[in-house]
């Protein structure tokens, strides 16, 4: 037989610290936690990517960050391990991910611009040092909707929102 991972086990598997996990304990049920953690990039991977990027472009201070498709904030957790950051705005639509993000990172929900395809570009500061985003892959994966980047009406699928962010 097998058993389901606990919230803490799922978070640790994804590389989140116990300190971060303490902040969401009891706030989401096991299924919600599995969903939001399972849709996250692994924190050590995010940290490694950012270390390489910082080195390539010469970022040496706490960066001001815009986070898109934020999920629970794996990039932000990696940035904390690298010395910190200042969040300008984040963009997330899943209510459980938003709840976990704001609890884990101590940020107000008012910094969330919501649906990136409907966000006003003026709501993003021009002086941010770093733009992070997790790729919304739900429509491309075998377990997802398999809709591709565009819906039948020509609008973006969730995975196609990557193109809205690129604009």
Active site residues: 137
How many C-alpha atoms does 128 have within 13 Å on its Cβ side? Answer: 18
**What is the torsional sign of CA 110, 22, 47, 6?**
negative
Q: Are 43 and 15 contacting, i.e. CB atoms less than 8 angstroms apart? A: yes
Cα angle 49-91-146, degrees, rounded to a multiple of 5: 80
């Amino acid at each position: 037989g097998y058993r389901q991972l606990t919230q803490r086990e799922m978070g640790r598997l994804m590389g989140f610290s116990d300190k971060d996990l303490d902040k969401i304990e009891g706030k989401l049920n096991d299924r919600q936690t599995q969903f939001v953690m399972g849709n996250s990039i692994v924190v050590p991977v995010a940290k490694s990517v950012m270390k390489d990027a910082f080195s390539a472009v010469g970022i040496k201070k706490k960066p001001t960050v815009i986070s898109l498709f934020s999920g629970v904030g794996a990039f932000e957790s990696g940035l904390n391990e690298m010395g910190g950051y200042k969040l300008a705005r984040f963009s997330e639509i899943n209510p459980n991910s938003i709840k976990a993000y704001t609890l884990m990172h101590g940020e107000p929900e008012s910094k969330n611009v919501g649906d990136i395809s409907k966000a006003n570009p003026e709501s993003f500061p021009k002086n941010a040092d770093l733009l992070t985003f997790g790729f919304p892959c739900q429509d491309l994966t075998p377990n997802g909707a398999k809709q591709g980047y565009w819906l039948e009406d020509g609008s973006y699928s969730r995975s196609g929102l990557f193109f809205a962010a690129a604009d």
